[in-house]
Structure 1
């Protein structure tokens, strides 16, 4: 049973192993949300996420015989690294089953701790099913990523830290996948401060806990895929669901576009690299999905293990969405001075040319013409509209604005 005493015992077990991560006040996000926002920076935790808390607490509880047979786990990445790190600390063998689409950076980091990584299935749930097969074949102890009391107790230590760092906190926002983090954290916080509101956040594309809460029983959902891969759990845990029903006040859903924009905001405004699952907890506050203002709120940024190549796509997409990057085609006469005239107009409109492609061969033009593809750095959507209108007045046919 997860109790405040068992969570405090977990904290003592984790002393010297995990970091007490900062709780950082954000002026920018407080202004945007209308609340006082404090960011719990678990993206700065060892292994890059909160998962090491529960993993180490669980492995520390194993008997010598269980340790001798090693451990096996299923994870999209963060639990894997937590288990691998903790196994290395304990000197035991570790096998991790990851979905085929798990970020390469997470797989490589897991292997760097000495774990054996097996890729299987297209989702976490398929990887989880295969991990049970591996357990039966090897006799290893299975470490569930969330539906385990020792795991929840380890994650719950975050709640103790938040209450010490911000004693007068009004509410805590926490991402939800299978529910281990929010279940343990809520159990800790509500035992000490039952008046503190606990809010979960899920990606709308894979909202298993939200659906289960609405149905009153654990209910699996289908998923259309989400950039928040760390919380893309179709079926929440039985143990976690019971604690969520008992302690969590509400669950908010956010769209992937809101998560990606939040990731970009965190990188640009706070200089924090946060993965989609971690950024999801902040998204409903920035996009006015919560029915209150003026509250003192802690937001758990649960991890920062995002693949850099994927982050580059997030940045580009975010720049397009915010009107700070645009790409378009137009046609000019293939004669001296015509390209210069086009570029002069863009310069007058204060657009920065990032790339230009001048093409004389295209099915969209006739001989004597050239097609020009331009990528521009712009200020916002209003700036793009002004450029588009200016080019139209100057006689350019521009299509499409991307």
Structure 2
């Protein structure tokens, strides 16, 4: 019988472990660029450096930890294969490198997993099995198959070997910018932050480590602060939407991380849009969490040299399009106006004249004659439009009201 491991979490993951992982995976993962963003620095009021982990082959940092784990399997373990439960980036990273190394990879995903994620995992060599309606059910089934098929389970985050691989991100960041005042890192299960914190604090005990979670999924925040916040919902940052954080990772984070910030959905959407507009790079919601935290807490980061990890770029294209359009609404460049009109010839034409006079472009028009509180001879017309900025829309609304029109505007929270 094996004696229980009584060592502390920080004993089980050291700077030497991360350096060994870096040597092990060198040449098989992308040493992604770390670049200064002049524009984001000006907007945020601090010196922002971006680590582009969305440029890995599978578009996420998860490859690092998965590969480090695969490379430490015995020959017998490699022959039998590995298994994991994941509907996200871990599944692709493990499948890609497992296939490349000749290790069979089985991934258990909930039946509710979007088809595109199943196809992405299969396209890099993973054998996908769908089971259950939730991740917890898929996870339990994966552990059952691990025993039945004598496979090796590779945890997406709660494993020192996996976390050591993720910590190589910090090695590269600090090699590029040793003078970073703080690292701002997304936290889901905690593997990335555990590895990075181990490196950062060993190199510079004074560096600040700031974790970020979506406010809808504050699981690690609640764990390390003793809070009991509600956890669940439909977040853009699905890559860090973890209800049960790692036991091992929680110990490291509780010991080394200075603070965990929670970010709202609107801030995540804005950060995704800014990174595409300014840096011309596609990130998923989790990948934009660090920037969202900095922009949401300007005084916290004012004047500091800040390293942000763009940890992944796997976002559905339709969702990305929706995020970008919603950001235009929040910035005031796109609006929806509801105008009450009389149902008579020329009524809409007269309104169009005011749009033309204010050079506001009309995108879509929709009339509503039946489902209104207006008299039978009245109607609502909903007009979606775009302009240079919010002031141009405001001037149009003012002009419409000055002409006697009732105008209702719609805003996003």
1:395 corresponds to 2:392 = no
Distance, in Å, in 2 between the alignment partners of 1:221 and 1:360 is 42
Residue 223 of structure 1: SS of its match in structure 2?
coil
Distance, in Å, in 2 between the alignment partners of 1:344 and 1:43 is 47
Aligned to 2:159: 148
Residue 206 of structure 1: SS of its match in structure 2?
coil
How many residue pairs match? The answer is 400
C-alpha deviation, 1:358, in angstroms: 5.1
Please show how residues 166-177 of structure 1 align to structure 2 within 5 Å: 166-177=177-188
Aligned to 2:333: 324
C-alpha deviation, 1:224, in angstroms: 2.7
Distance, in Å, in 2 between the alignment partners of 1:143 and 1:228 is 23
1:46 corresponds to 2:60 = no
Q: Is the CA contact (8 Å cut-off) linking 1:169 and 1:296 kept in structure 2?
A: yes
1:263 corresponds to 2:272 = yes
Task: Flag structure 1 segments of 5+ consecutive residues without an equivalent.
Answer: none
Check 1:137–1:187 CA distance in 2 against 1; reply closer, same or farther (3 A cut): same
Residue 337 of structure 2: SS of its match in structure 1?
strand
Aligned to 1:351: 360
Distance, in Å, in 2 between the alignment partners of 1:298 and 1:28 is 15
C-alpha deviation, 1:289, in angstroms: 5.5
Q: 2:220 aligns with which of 185, 194, 209?
A: 209
Q: Is the CA contact (8 Å cut-off) linking 2:372 and 2:379 kept in structure 1?
A: no
C-alpha deviation, 1:288, in angstroms: 2.1
Check 1:208–1:123 CA distance in 2 against 1; reply closer, same or farther (3 A cut): farther
Which has the higher mean CA deviation after the structures are superposed, 312-321 or 19-28? Answer: 312-321
- TM (normalized to structure 1)? 0.92
Distance, in Å, in 2 between the alignment partners of 1:19 and 1:263 is 22
1:234 corresponds to 2:243 = yes
Distance, in Å, in 2 between the alignment partners of 1:262 and 1:127 is 31
Residue 58 of structure 2: SS of its match in structure 1?
helix
Distance, in Å, in 2 between the alignment partners of 1:118 and 1:27 is 45
Aligned to 2:87: 76
Distance, in Å, in 2 between the alignment partners of 1:38 and 1:291 is 16
Q: Is the CA contact (8 Å cut-off) linking 1:227 and 1:276 kept in structure 2?
A: yes
1:196 corresponds to 2:232 = no
What is the alpha-carbon root mean square deviation over aligned residues? 2.2
Distance, in Å, in 2 between the alignment partners of 1:147 and 1:208 is 14
Deviation digits for residues 178-211 of structure 1, max 9, x if unmatched?
1000101111122122222111111111111111
C-alpha deviation, 1:98, in angstroms: 2.6
